[in-house]
Amino acid sequence: MALQILVTGGTGYIGSHTVVELQNAGYKVVIVDDLSNSSIDVLDNIEKITGIKPIFEQLNLVDAERTGALFRKYPDLQAIIHFAASKAVGESVQIPLHYYRNNLVSLMNLLDGQRKYGVANIVFSSSCTVYGQPEVLPVTEQTPRKDAESPYGNTKRISEDILNDSIRAYPELRGIALRYFNPIGAHESALIGELPLGVPQNLVPFITQTAAGLRDELKVFGNDYDTPDGSAIRDYINVVDLAKAHVVAIERLLNKKNKAKYEVFNLGTGEGLSVLQVVKGFEKATGVELNYKIVDRRPGDIEKIWADTTYANQELGWKAEKGLEETLLSAWNWEKRVRGIQ
Ligand code: WQD
């Protein structure tokens, strides 16, 4: 019988792509999501891609009683991938208590359920934001974490500590934290992708919405950074490559290949690209000229970050494979399908 994996936040951007890769790898998936930042239509689109409609439970994991009932309903769960969290940096500054409650209480309820109902394995969705602005680049897993620039980033750091301390204290638990750099792009089918509610905060959805005519122009937040072209540098990783890394991490735990009860891996490409390089890459990949304007820096942004991927490549045997232009084209194809553009 196929091993059953619980994917929290599984109708979200990275979650949905990971569900597809889990199903492709033969796992049975139970999605739990509160649909606060995603659409239930994602389930049908996952089914169109894989032929399998995931089991779905609408639930906010902050509800301890209903979270416990979830574990009782699915006694065969072998592992959890925990994506469900509020994730908008700017919004987190406005409503920090929502972010701390939603992101931390949900994790603690999951860990309580794991202990009570015997689910040993958890893969946690973390972020390179825990590094702040690194002093030394590229970033390795040993690079010191820094105080977060936002409550969102702080919840990621605190969540890692909750996970680490719980795994250390409770012998029955083991887990992996995956620190994502900047996930971009969409599934090649254009059936799933990033669909931000309202005005996109992230670069690539803003680019594709500008190209689709939903936004007048892209604002490039600063060109006075200490970088070759003055715009800020990030490590942009294809979301399908990222999703595949989650399957590798789950199998590492299920097959007990982990070398410690708690492990951390950076998931990036190892290449830093500037905002203007991404803009040019989009224009080259799609043939669509982008209307953009250089404006002031965005408060809270760091200048540059990219990953040293050696450890993830060697330990996980995983490497990001898709290049920038292929990835940006996939984001554009997704945007065109969502907006009904030929
Ligand atoms: C990338 C670059 C912007 C929009 C954050 C979180 C991270 C993760 C991804 C959740 C920056 C510039 C952006 C725009 C721009 N979040 N930019 N114009 O801030 O690196 O990371 O989102 O999982 O944890 O920290 O991503 O896409 O917002 O910005 O010039 O309209 O693009 O200044 O240099 P960021 P981003």
Centre of ligand 1 to C-alpha 234, Å, is 8
Closest residue CA from atom 31 of ligand 1:
203
The pick from 201, 202, 204 for probing ligand 1's pocket by mutation, whose C-beta has the most ligand atoms within 8 angstroms, reads: 202
User: Is residue 31 in a domain?
Assistant: yes
Closest residue CA from atom 13 of ligand 1:
203
Task: List the CATH number of the domain containing 171.
Answer: 3.40.50.720
Integer Cα distance of 57 and 279 in angstroms: 39
Residuewise pLDDT in 10s, the chain (342 residues): 789 999 999 999 999 999 999 999 999 999 999 999 999 999 999 999 999 999 999 999 999 999 999 999 999 999 999 999 999 888 899 999 999 999 999 999 999 999 999 999 999 999 999 999 999 999 999 999 998 888 999 999 999 999 999 999 999 999 999 999 999 999 999 999 999 888 999 999 999 999 999 999 999 999 999 999 999 999 999 999 999 999 999 999 999 999 999 999 999 999 999 999 999 999 999 999 999 999 999 988 999 999 999 999 999 999 999 999 999 999 999 999 999 998
The pick from 234, 239, 296 for probing ligand 1's pocket by mutation, whose C-beta has the most ligand atoms within 8 angstroms, reads: 234
User: Is residue 219 in a domain?
Assistant: no
Using an 8 Å Cβ cutoff, are 8 and 33 in contact? yes
Residues 6+ apart with CB under 8 A from 169: none
User: Is residue 285 in a domain?
Assistant: no
Closest residue CA from atom 8 of ligand 1:
182
User: Is residue 225 in a domain?
Assistant: no
CA–CA–CA angle 288, 289, 290 (5° rounding):
110
Closest residue CA from atom 32 of ligand 1:
203
Centre of ligand 1 to C-alpha 129, Å, is 10
Q: How far is CA 27 from CA 57, 78, 129, 216, in A?
A: 17, 10, 30, 43
Q: What is the pLDDT of residue 196?
A: 84
User: Is residue 226 in a domain?
Assistant: no
Measured from CB, residues less than 6 Å from any atom of ligand 1 are: 87, 89, 127, 129, 182, 201-203, 206, 218-221, 232, 234, 275, 298, 301
Atom of ligand 1 nearest to the CA of 127: 24
Question: Of the listed 99, 131, 152, 180, which one is catalytic?
Answer: 152
Closest residue CA from atom 26 of ligand 1:
202
Q: Establish whether 170 is a catalytic residue.
A: no
Number of domains in the chain: 1
Q: What is the pLDDT of residue 299?
A: 86
Atom of ligand 1 nearest to the CA of 278: 32
Integer Cα distance of 199 and 292 in angstroms: 16
User: Is residue 104 in a domain?
Assistant: yes
Integer Cα distance of 6 and 119 in angstroms: 10
Centre of ligand 1 to C-alpha 166, Å, is 31
Residues 6+ apart with CB under 8 A from 199: 206, 215
pTM to 2 decimal places: 0.97
Give the structural domain span for 16: 4-184+236-267
Closest residue CA from atom 18 of ligand 1:
220
User: Is residue 300 in a domain?
Assistant: no
Using an 8 Å Cβ cutoff, are 341 and 261 in contact? no
User: Is residue 115 in a domain?
Assistant: yes
